[in-house]
Amino acid sequence: MTLLNKQLFFVLFSSILLFGGCGKDEVKQIKRTPPPLKVKTIIIKTKKVPIWEIFTGKTRASSHQEVRARVSGILEKIYFKDGDYVKKGQKLFKIQQDEYIAALNGAKAKEAQDKAALALAKADVQRYTPLVKEGLAPRATLEQYQAKLASLNAAILGDAAKIKEAQIQLSYTIIKAPISGKVSARHIDVGNLIGQGESTLLTTIVRYNPLYAYFSPSQNDAMIMQKYRDKKDLDAFIEYKGANEDIRLDGYVDFSNNTVDPLTSTITMRAIIKNPNTQILPGTFVYVNVFISEKYKFKMIPPEIIMDDQLGKYVYIVDNNASVKRADITTGYGTRYYVSVQKGLKDGDRVIISGLIKLRPGMKVKAIDVTKEKGIDAIIKENKLIPPQVK
């Protein structure tokens, strides 16, 4: 036997010994196929779903008031700190009052003087009236006293007006907040002369609650909203995606412009947003979500499970043989929360929502129904897409 034949005999003999030593259980283990991949599925159902349209917008203060001096004088006192929240009617500034108190006292003194003269004129008229009737006094003298009485009555009316004017001027020396809101930094310091020939700007107050959110839907979107809206004032909420937290504030659309912008073919609209804790400031870019209707039925799926290739959009479903099947679809209305499927799916289809990268048509899978936890109803509840019933 040659050396080559001896080597072949040794390899063959070793293989017989190796496989001969394996038991039946070990052979079964070698031939066993891997278990089906577990996948999560949701069951498709045509049902009524709230229709929301999402736009980008920018917030503005619902009121922006300039606080100005209405009288001149030396600024004597400031009652707030820069950036404070102030209430309507709260004192903000005090202008030196001596000049205005003196003017008020002078007007009151003039009124008192004229009232004293009036009393004397009335007495003269009463005394001369019977004397004239009896021919004991000239009528001209009585007429002079009557004219003086009328003149003093007019003077007292003027005195009352002067007192009122002096009181108003004095009241302007205490400058109060015209609205509730956050006050800016003061523009004038104590000791400065203000209001000399101009209404000096002292500070500004901005009201954050409610907050305005302006957005500009296209002309087509505005027409759809007008056609399918459930009520006059559409419910809305704004979202701000921050680095540390996401903020959502509810409100409603209260204004739509009456013309289309010819440059952009958009219509300016506004939502009034509740902002009690000043979570969002004016000038913030936000998403404006506008509720239109919940009267219409759709087949909805989450947008993140939709895939795309050269043949178009598709999803994976589980067929009756527990195998993966590709379903080519045509989508319609959609948001970032859910998308309607116009063609390609039917009620009862089990759409796969997990492990999508691992799937291939024909692959055996074990479907786990998570419709209750991950279906469209759960998405609506989790993202609070049910419109509020009360504004």
What would the pLDDT profile of 313-364 be if each residue is shown by its tens digit? 999 999 999 999 999 999 988 888 999 999 999 999 999 999 999 999 999 9
Contact 248, 238 (CB under 8 A): yes
Please report the pLDDT score of residue 319 as a whole number.
Answer: 94
Residue 36, burial from CB neighbour count under 10 angstroms (0-12, 13-18, 19+): middle
Give CA 93 to chain center in angstroms.
32
Position with higher pLDDT, 198 vs 267: 267
Question: What is the percent of the chain with per-residue pLDDT over 70, rounded to a whole number?
Answer: 91
Please report the pLDDT score of residue 8 as a whole number.
Answer: 44
CA count, 13 A, side-chain hemisphere, 311: 7
Contact 44, 348 (CB under 8 A): yes
Domains and CATH numbers, the chain: 37-50+297-382 (2.40.420.20), 53-61+208-293 (2.40.30.170), 63-95+173-206 (2.40.50.100), 98-171 (1.10.287)
Mention every residue, 6+ apart, whose C-beta is less than 8 A from residue 5: none
Q: Which of 205, 202, 204 is nearest to 95 (CA)?
A: 202
What would the pLDDT profile of 197-253 be if each residue is shown by its tens digit? 788 999 999 999 999 999 999 998 888 888 888 888 899 999 998 777 889 999 999
The tokens for 161 are 């007006």
Tell me what the mean pLDDT of segment 132-147 comes to: 84
Position with higher pLDDT, 301 vs 19: 301
What would the pLDDT profile of 54-84 be if each residue is shown by its tens digit? 999 999 999 999 999 999 999 999 999 999 9
Chain mean pLDDT for the chain: 88
* pLDDT class of 175 with cuts at 50, 70, 90: very high
The tokens for 190 are 């104590």
Task: Return d(Cα 142, Cα 18) in angstroms, integer.
Answer: 151
Please report the pLDDT score of residue 32 as a whole number.
Answer: 66
What would the pLDDT profile of 154-169 be if each residue is shown by its tens digit? 999 999 999 999 999 9
Q: Using the predicted structure, report yes or no on whether residue 279 has a pLDDT greater than 70.
A: yes
The secondary structure element, H or E, covering residue 99 is: helix 98-133
Please report the pLDDT score of residue 223 as a whole number.
Answer: 87
Neighbouring CB atoms inside 10 A of 364's CB total 14
Longest distance between any two alpha carbons in the chain, whole Å: 181
Task: Return d(Cα 107, Cα 116) in angstroms, integer.
Answer: 14
Q: Which amino acid is at 311?
A: L
SS3 content of the chain, % helix, strand, coil (to 5): 30, 35, 35
Q: Using the predicted structure, report yes or no on whether residue 385 has a pLDDT greater than 50.
A: yes
Contact 85, 179 (CB under 8 A): no
Phi and psi angles of residue 160, each rounded to the nearest 5 degrees, phi first: -60, -40
What would the pLDDT profile of 2-28 be if each residue is shown by its tens digit? 544 544 444 444 554 444 545 555 545
